[in-house]
Structure 1
Amino acid sequence: MYASFTSEQTSDGTPLSDSSYPAFNPLATDQPFADMSSSSHPSEPLDSSYLAQGTAAESQSFYGATVGHGDIQPPVAKTTFCCNLDRVLSSLPRSTFRPLVVNVPLDKQAQPAITIVDAVKTSEVGGGSYIAYVIRTDIPSQNIRYESRHRYSEFEALRSLLSRIHYMAVIPPIPEKHSIGDYATKQAKAKEDKAIIEKRKRMLQSFLNRVATHPLLVREHVFHQFLEDPEATWSTILSASEHANLGRRKDKSPISMLTDKRNLDIPDPHFVASEEYTLKFSAHIAQTHKHQKKITKLQQDVAQQLAELGAVYNGWSLTEHTLAAALESVGAATDTTAAATGQLAKSLEEAVTEPIQEYVQFSGAIEKLLRWRHTQHCEYESTIESLTSKEGQLTRLEASEHEAQRLTAVLNAEGSWGPARPPSPVPNSAGASTEPKGGILKTLNSLIDNDPEATRRNNISKLKDRITHLKEQEKVTLQELNIGNEQVQKDLDRFQRCKIEDVRSILLSYAIAQRDYHRRAAAAWSDAKIDIEQIHSGSS
């Protein structure tokens, strides 16, 4: 996803022209992490002239760092830890929590260190009930074994808090809430439906293990307490944390406050390519998920129909003599095929469809993340536009002031005393001044600029103050943009490495499930074939 290419050539040395730029797949890479960096430095500014040049920059990548994005470096290793679990989690390899799929049956694959071992119906004080998911963290090599219980809403709250703290990171998804369709078909029992609970167990388990492999999220002490304390509820965990205020208030993270996307005057071609690829990836993964769900449902229906057909063959065999053995064998093979098809549907649901669903949700999270980065860039451009406008106004006002001073000098040189002062009010016969005391004349007089020179100088002073403020704002927004670019890029690179590994596991799981299904069915039908061949035509 985040391969680095120079503007002159690709990784294999092939020349890269500007016209060929969009054709490359930014996500198609398995480069090591150390190779995904540019020659830029974190302190370098985001130069608009560089953006205008597009791919003509010295070091430009599709999803690697560009000028102003900062060097891509792994997170700094921790030297201090908030608790023992923090120390352990930080020292373990990714495979502890996301074991690679190997060439053995899917039910014999290694289990992650964090598992959800049960879902228990729990009564509330008010008379209601909820499903509590039992989380077990088991790391024998480190003498770690914890159990805790949390309901779905607490997982949701944990993810929400992580997304507010680390809004520049790709936060792992959790299973979606029950749909209206779930409540319509299952009514009040939707929350207690066994299939829904089992799916949530698997996907919530995946969420916890993905957090444990994220270099930033795994450091949060709220996550450690979520796994450690068997009695703690989310409210007590949050109250004791440094993020208590953040967790209680309404979601106002930068990601949640995104507005409509506006066009950039000088877009960053690097992130434009990222956005375009993400849209394509989202479309592909959504279509894959849609059809995989249909296939799984079809396989479940086929398994049911085969089971019924097997029963028919077995019943038929009871009424025959010569055909009995063959019919019974066909019935047994059909029953085996039904069981194998059901197992195939289950395996594909758990090992293929659900992980693909996670990536459907991941794609949406990445779209939001890139949109946030786009908004940061818009703010920087808006500040530049305001600064340019104000500097233009100042130039015009200073030119007017210079011209006024020149005219004054000319008039003084000719003996003039400048503009005539307005006559003093003439008292009337009663000794009162004729100056208007109110009404329309007084209002009009207040609107007349009686001292344009002072007004002009006052405006110049205000403009200079505003320009000074905008220059400071420009530095701040540029720094925020550079930091955002760097942090977003780091997490996109991390996500890509995980994605490649996950897609490998999904495809290998697909192949293993299909292989084991066909082996089982083929063995059953090979046995049936022997009995069928024993049928002698013409026998009564």
Structure 2
Amino acid sequence: MATSRGSGETLDSIELVRRDDQAGNERTGSYDGLGNDGISQNTVVDDDNATDENENESLLEKDQDQQSSQPAQPRANMSSAIIWMVVNTLATIAIVFANKAIFSFRPLKLVQLTFAAFHFFATWLTLYILSRPSYAFFPPRRTAIKEIIPISIAMSLNVILPNLSLAYSSVTFYQVARILLTPIVALMNYVLYKETLPRNAILALIPACVGVGMVSYYDSLPTGDEKVKATSGLGVIFAFTGIFASSLYTVWISSYRRKLQMTSMQLLYNQAPVSAFLLLYVIPFVDIFPNWNEVPVSKWVLILASGLFASLINISQFFVIAQTGPVSSTVVGHVKTCTIVAIGWVTSGRFMDIGNSRAYNSDNPISVGMRKMWNDEEDNNPYGTSFDRRDSITSSSANPTSPAYQQGFDVPNTPSSTSEDAPPRSYQQPSRDTDSEEDYGTNAGGHQPPRRKPGGYNSRVEQILYENPELPILITDAGKSMETGGRYIVYTIRTGDLEVRRRYSEFASLRDALTRLHPTLIIPPIPEKHTMADYAANPTNAKQDQQIIDLRKRMLAVFLNRCRRMEEVRDDGVLWRFLDPNASWSEVLHSHPIASIPKSVLKAPPLDTANPTPAHSYLPVPSHSAKLKSPVNPPPAPVFDSSQTVASQVLRRFPPDAHNLTEQELDPYFIAFESSIKDLENLLTGPMEKVNRRTLSHLTSLASDLADLGSKYNAFALSEQSPSLAAAIERVGQAADSSYIATEELSSSLGSSFAEPMRENAQFAGVVRNVLRYRVQKRVQQEMTNDDLLKKRALLDQLERSEAEAQRIEQYLTSSQQIGATQRVSPPKRSSSMKENSTQQHRDGSGEDTASIDSDFPPTHGDFSAAPSARVGAPERSPPPPTHKKAPSTNSITNKIFGPIRHAIQGVADVDPERTRRDTIGKTRESIEHLEQAQVAAAQDVKDASASILKDLKRFQGEKEDDLKRYMLAYAKSQIEWAKKNKEQWEEAKAEVEKIDET
């Protein structure tokens, strides 16, 4: 025992001497000196784990002899530590960029714990290959699984808990909290193993922590125009437990190497597969697996590269801890982060300003990756994005390499959050080449200070939409997406400096969601789907038709800009989530408010369909073809005044004050509007569409003829000998070519600025009809509710009268039985024949009385013919006609077969008719209460629906007139431009022809 204690004291003293004198040399008992062969001479490989005291003493003496005989060993260890630090830093940079590229494919963002398990497995596979005799970097050595379960759990928690903290807290708090890792490691090292740091090391640790804390704090400060989610209590718990797990894991690495007498590679070789296996218990509750067939080949290559980089990080981390110690390794992590940020500044021209960090010349993708890594990644954890945090500070901005990023939007200056009066960012409006795009959201007036939302913002997109009402939403690109393997056409939507890619089906689901959320609003239409004729004409490439893609690109942009100008749509939170690059659209569709809408919108309030009341669940649902029972008066003839504008005359068709009119009085106005919009639809889809098609076809043919004419004139000019005549002929050919180009431009301009908007207006007619149909269905629903309520009340009245009559009969029978019992006390003598007749008559009468009770009607014969009736004193009413069918004949075959079965069922179903009747009365009263609530809700719904639809119809009418005016102006401008170009060209040709006579 004395020998053992002395050995332990000698071991502790040697460790302190080596830490103080060698500053990073390998500790005694680590068994991980790295020579040229990768393993020092003091490495022990013992499958039997012999750890007796004599071997420990001899091992310690051998180690002391080696240290005294090798004075150059500290320099070699320091060089080895620096090499592994460089490897760790380069691998961290590589894995950050690889993971960013991998997770840019949105489905892979939800399987990041699976990636962590894959990284552990890749680490084990790398070590397995290196341990083979062909490489022999280290001898493989096994240990009991129970021995390494604690450190394996710590390794798994080191991945899970820090990233949970990042998911539930701000980046500022996350970065600042991670600074505590270094002092906690030092404290834990002292508490567990009584190991201390030199005073100089402690003093050097303080400015490192302060410096990294300042950089992390100021670089991730929330700005005045960005809504940053506050750190929740759960995020604080995850942060501190994650720091504890990371610190414990860092300290245990060195301790377990000494305890198990293993090298770094041997320990990691045993630990990595166990950690990967432990993560399998968490993955089913966290990860959502995508369709792996949709993952592109390029992503699979990056995934394999990411596994290799993770292996290098894990291996190098073990060696860095072995060479420098647990505390020093955490400082190495901070130095690594600062180095990465410095590289980002050098490559991107980005400089740090206290309280305000800005990026210039950020069209370099490396600088963008550096900035994202600085905001998102943790310095020591290669799995820093395992839990995707979707807040404004980590939201993805527009792709700097895309063409849309270079179209004229300036990178704004982001003011500090401490400056409340600092002006928010403003966007330079991109130039437009066509007048139709100018009218969809550009600001024609002077600059106005942007407004601010009182309650703050939930997303960067919401802030852009709210503070820049005139900023247009653009679709900058349309084509196959590499993220989906090139199978689908995606449309790149740009809102300010943010970009998101959506498919046509997602646009359709957005419009469907808005229609269900706002059934009283006229939601703009989107381009129609491919028809069967399109697939029949081009079965293989119908979906890739470039003309249809360009049409959708233009009209979908119009759809988004029309929606953002509708206040109700802009405030419901669905539109800006559609435009948010950090929002998963499938999650939006399966969350509130869309997921809260009932299957039938008629069972919800018209102004808030996502929050139906209990009364709405009792409303009946009419069929789509149901009609009102009440007749509708003919609409009043519109009164036109020649002194008023056309717009005011059209608006006279609406009631002057909707609040003073009943629903029956409002019906004619809605019918009149529906009739007018139907006439407009017939006009646009009938004669107008045919004329537009013929005009565009004629212009296309004319352009083709002019192109042929120009080529013929040019060829003719080459064969002409006279110079003046040849020049005139050539000039005429050039004029024909210019006319061909101008005519092509005219055809394209009329198609995009006149024909397509006219088709959109025709689609609007169908939307208006659906909205008006919704109001009619609400009216029908109200009538059905009133009818059901009247029927239930009549049924209740009938049941209550039957119950009262049955009770009266019961009282009479009870009193009659008491009188009969009194009379039987002294019965008169009767002959036997009289007794038999009386007995038979009494039995017959009792049967009839029982039948009378069961049928709820008093007996009209027998001994109780004088019984009182419930209808005494009331006027006689004709009995209601029977609703059941005539009973079948007893001799029929069906009655013989099913008669006994029917009788048994009726006996079981109505064993106690009185109880059944009372239960029916209770259920009827409950139904009446529900219908009364539904009646109130239906009346309010009809009132709200009429007011909202009337308000939106007035808005739509005004916008429709503005649209038609814009279409007519665009038509005229296109014709004028075409005429001007032709006039100039043919005047020049005329001048050239006139020169022929002068020569």
Quick check: TM above 0.5?
yes
Q: Which amino acid aligns with 2:592?
A: E
Distance in 2 separating the partners of 1:257 and 1:400: 33
Q: Distance in 2 between matches of 1:78 and 1:307?
A: 56
Greater Rg, structure 1 or structure 2? 2
- Cα deviation for residue 312 of structure 1 reads 1.7
Change (3 A) 1:399 1:535: farther
Mark the CA change 1:388 to 1:87 in structure 2 (over 3 Å): closer, same or farther.
same
Q: d(CA) in 1 for partners of 2:848 and 2:702?
A: 93
| Matching residue of 1:449 | 856
Q: Is the 8 A contact 1:86 1:219 kept in 2?
A: no
The reply on whether 1:286 has 2:638 as its aligned counterpart is no
Question: 2:473 touches 2:495 (CA, 8 Å); kept in 1?
Answer: yes
Query: Using the alignment, how far apart are the partners of 2:760 and 2:843 within structure 1?
Result: 80
* 2:936 aligned partner, one-letter code: K
- Distance in 1, matches of 2:843 and 2:482, equals 85
1:192-271 paired onto structure 2 within 5 Å: 192-229=544-581, 232-239=583-590, 241-243=591-593, 245-246=595-596, 252-254=600-602, 259-267=624-632, 268-271=667-670
Question: Cα distance, 1:471 vs. partner?
Answer: 4.6
Please give the alpha-carbon distance, in whole angstroms, between the structure 1 residues aligned to 2:629 and 2:721. Answer: 82
Q: What's the TM-score once normalised by structure 1's chain length?
A: 0.66
Does structure 1 residue 347 correspond to structure 2 residue 741? Answer: no
1:344, 1:295 → 2: CA distance? 11
Task: Give the 3 Å change call, closer, same or farther, for CA 220–461 of structure 1 in structure 2.
Answer: closer
Residue 225 of structure 1: how far off its partner (Å): 2.6
Q: How does 1:104-503 map to 2 (within 5 A)?
A: 113-123=472-482, 129-138=487-496, 145-229=497-581, 232-239=583-590, 241-243=591-593, 245-246=595-596, 252-254=600-602, 259-267=624-632, 268-287=667-686, 288-321=688-721, 323-385=725-787, 448-451=855-858, 453=870, 470-503=931-964
Shift of 1:266: 4.2
Cα distance between partner residues in 1 of 2:482 and 2:461? 30
Letter of the 1:476 counterpart: A
Measured after TM superposition, the shift of residue 337 of structure 1 is 1.0
Q: Which residue of the other structure, out of 518, 530, 533, is the alignment partner of 2:991?
A: 530
Unaligned runs of 5+ in 1: 1-76, 98-112, 139-144, 409-415
Paired-residue identity, %: 33
3-state DSSP of counterpart to 1:134: strand
Distance 2:925 2:509 in 1: 47
> How far, CA to CA, are the matches of 1:478 and 1:334 in structure 2?
69
- Aligned equivalents of 1:302 and 1:446: distance in 2? 95
Question: Equivalent residue of 2:856, what SS?
Answer: coil
Distance 1:427 1:214, change over 3 A: farther
RMSD after superposition:
4.5
Compared with structure 1, are the counterparts of its residues 128 and 517 closer, same or farther at alpha carbon in structure 2 (3 Å cutoff)?
A: closer
**Aligned partners of 1:444, 1:326: CA distance in 2, in Å?**
117
1:468 and 1:501 map into 2 onto residues whose CA distance is: 50
- Rounded Cα–Cα distance in structure 1 between residues aligned with 2:674 and 2:586: 37
Distance 1:130 1:461 in 2: 59
CA 1:82–1:258: 2 relative to 1, 3 Å: farther
Measure the CA separation in 2 of the matches of 1:377 and 1:237: 32
How far apart in 1 are the matches of 2:595 and 2:843?
62
Structure 2 alignment gaps of length 5 or more? 1-451, 607-620, 633-666, 822-833, 859-868, 872-913
Contact 1:265/1:381 (<8 A) preserved: no
**Contact 1:132 1:152 (8 Å CA) reproduced:** yes
1:508 partnered with 2:969: yes
- Cα offsets for 1:83-116 (capped at 9, x unmatched): 34324423444xx25xxxxxxxxxxxxxxx2111
TM-score computed with the length of structure 2 as normaliser: 0.37
Assess, with a 3 A threshold, how the Cα gap between structure 1 residues 470 and 266 changes in structure 2: closer, same or farther.
farther
Deviation at 1:529, TM superposition (A): 1.8
- Structure-2 separation of matches of 1:472 and 1:159: 32
Question: Could you list the per-position Cα deviations for residues 379-401 of structure 1 after superposition, in whole angstroms to 9, with x for gaps in the alignment?
Answer: 22344455567778899999999
Structure 1 residues 281, 476: CA separation in 2 closer, same or farther (over 3 Å shift)? same
Q: Work out the CA distance in 2 between the residues paired with 1:373 and 1:193.
A: 39
Candidates 77, 89, 92, aligned match of 2:465: 89
Q: Which has the higher contact order (CA 8 A, sep 6+)?
A: 1
- Given that 1:427 and 1:434 are in contact with CA atoms closer than 8 Å, whether structure 2 keeps it comes out as no
Look up the SS of the partner of 2:523 in the other structure.
Answer: coil
Distance across 1 between alignment mates of 2:571 and 2:931 = 37
User: Offset at 1:443?
Assistant: 12
- How much does 1:341 deviate? 0.7
Equivalenced residues, count:
417
Pairwise CA distance, 1:521: 0.8
Report the Cα distance in structure 1 between the residues aligned to 2:921 and 2:684, rounded to whole angstroms. Answer: 57
Q: Aligned partners of 1:176, 1:387: CA distance in 2, in Å?
A: 43
What is the distance in 2 between the residues matched to 1:387 and 1:258? Answer: 19
User: 2:791, 2:468 → 1: CA distance?
Assistant: 54
Distance 2:761 2:736 in 1: 36
Instruction: Classify 1:468/1:266 alpha carbon distance in 2 versus 1 (closer, same or farther; 3 Å).
Output: farther
Q: CA deviation at 1:507?
A: 1.2
What amino acid does structure 1 have at the position aligned with 2:710? G
Give 1:464 deviation, angstroms: 7.9
What is the SS of the residue equivalent to 1:488? Answer: helix
CA deviations on 1:224-246 (whole Å, 9 max, x unpaired) are 132231x654224445x423635
Could you say what secondary structure the match of 1:188 adopts? coil
Amino acid at match of 1:285: L
Structure 1 residue 500: deviation in Å?
A: 2.1
Q: Structure 1, residues 242-286: CA drift from partner, whole Å, max 9, x if none? A: 236358x9x644499861142441432221222222212222232
